[in-house]
């Protein structure tokens, strides 16, 4: 999990560098193309079939995941790296909010007040993170990063549902990559394409390999490790992104934004802890695996 967090943060660096030359749609397309080829080789090696009994579930999971990915890459291009990753990592808080809403709609007799407090803490953190960047140049990037976290939460819940009915993880990731290629290709047709350079191609290759390798490492961590330990270690990605931003991009992190980052990380960890405790009697592996 530590390795996956480091690779995802390193991928964020490559996305930020590639965004100087390529649009978010192009980055999503090439990231998905490399990922699809990578996963296809693993599928053939492990002799896993691509035929699925639930194609509709794969469609909706892929649609939400790819939408979140596009928004996240867009946000990385215009926000400090740690800020963009923090807004995306707020998915744990959004999942807690969805669970609260579902409990209320189903007429649950009691909603865990600690879960409500974790959600509110996360929203305070978002306000602190976005407040320093509310200007015409960065507002849309901030909103895109926030929405990417919402859609990531939905995608994670859908991945959990697919896992519970026995769908292989490689198959789920492969269909996600195919959808990413389609979405990225459509965006490229709309926004146009950039001229390639050796450096640009290197960034794109690195993004695809880092993202897919990190995804496999994270999936493996959730398969063999403890969900609570994994959830805590996942937030090291924010720390890695903060260090990268300061060292490589000379990003000035204000005290208010830093406080917001810490609050969101604390809220996400608390929400994951509370969800895992409530789900442990039913399913010890309820925590969702991996990136989008």
Span 227-234, mean pLDDT?
A: 62
Of 73-82, 91-100, 123-132, 264-273, which range is least confident? 123-132
Confidence of residue 220 (pLDDT cuts 50, 70, 90): confident
Three-state secondary structure string covering 112-167: CHHHHHHHHHHHHHHHHHHHHHCCCCCHHHHHHHHHHHHHHHHHHHHHHHHHHCCC
- Residue span of the structural domain in which 96 resides: 2-279
| Any domain includes 240 | yes
Confidence of residue 11 (pLDDT cuts 50, 70, 90): very high
Confidence of residue 31 (pLDDT cuts 50, 70, 90): very high
pTM exceeding the 0.75 threshold for the entire prediction: yes
| Any domain includes 88 | yes
Q: Which stretch, 7-11, 171-175, 226-230, has highest mean pLDDT?
A: 7-11
| Any domain includes 121 | yes
Host H or E run for residue 227: helix 227-234
- Tally of domains within the chain: 1
Q: Tell me: pLDDT of 289 over 50.
A: no
pLDDT of residue 282: 47
Q: Tell me: pLDDT of 165 over 80.
A: yes
Query: What pLDDT, in 10s, does the model give residues 87-137?
Result: 887 777 787 777 677 766 766 556 666 767 776 777 777 777 666 555 567
| Any domain includes 212 | yes
Q: Tell me: pLDDT of 252 over 50.
A: yes
pLDDT of residue 152: 85
Pairwise pLDDT comparison (102 vs 199), residue with the higher score: 199
| Any domain includes 21 | yes
What does the DSSP assignment read for 11-54? HHHHHHHHTTTS-HHHHHHHHHHHHHHHHHHHHHHHT-----S-
Query: What pLDDT, in 10s, does the model give residues 175-189?
Result: 989 999 999 999 998
| Any domain includes 186 | yes
Q: Which stretch, 15-19, 87-91, 154-158, 251-255, has highest mean pLDDT?
A: 15-19
| Any domain includes 241 | yes
| Any domain includes 285 | no
């Amino acid at each position: 999990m530590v390795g996956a967090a480091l690779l995802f943060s390193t991928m964020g660096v490559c996305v930020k560098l590639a965004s100087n030359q390529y649009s978010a749609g192009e980055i999503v397309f090439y990231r998905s193309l490399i990922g699809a080829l990578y996963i296809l080789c693993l599928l053939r090696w492990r002799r896993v079939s691509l035929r699925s009994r639930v194609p509709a579930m794969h469609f909706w999971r892929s649609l939400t995941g790819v939408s979140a990915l596009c928004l996240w890459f867009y946000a990385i291009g215009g926000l400090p790296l740690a800020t963009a990753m923090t807004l995306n990592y707020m998915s744990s808080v959004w999942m807690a909010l969805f669970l609260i809403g579902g409990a209320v709609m189903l007429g649950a007799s009691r909603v865990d007040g600690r879960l409500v407090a974790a959600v509110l803490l996360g929203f305070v953190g978002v306000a602190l993170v976005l407040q320093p960047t509310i200007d015409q140049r960065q507002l849309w990037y901030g909103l895109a990063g926030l929405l990417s976290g919402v859609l990531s939460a939905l995608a994670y819940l859908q991945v959990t549902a697919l896992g519970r009915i026995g769908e292989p993880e490689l198959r789920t990731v492969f269909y996600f990559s195919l959808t990413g290629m389609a979405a990225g290709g459509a965006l490229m047709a709309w926004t146009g394409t950039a001229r390639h350079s050796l450096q640009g191609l290197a960034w794109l290759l690195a993004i695809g390999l880092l993202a897919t390798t990190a995804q496999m490492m994270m999936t493996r961590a959730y398969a063999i490790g403890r969900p609570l330990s994994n959830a805590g270690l996942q937030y090291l990605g924010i720390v890695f992104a903060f260090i990268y931003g300061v060292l490589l991009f000379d990003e000035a992190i204000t005290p208010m934004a830093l406080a917001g980052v810490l609050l969101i990380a604390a809220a996400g960890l608390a929400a994951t802890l509370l969800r895992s405790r409530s789900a442990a009697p039913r399913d010890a592996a309820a925590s969702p695996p991996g990136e989008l």
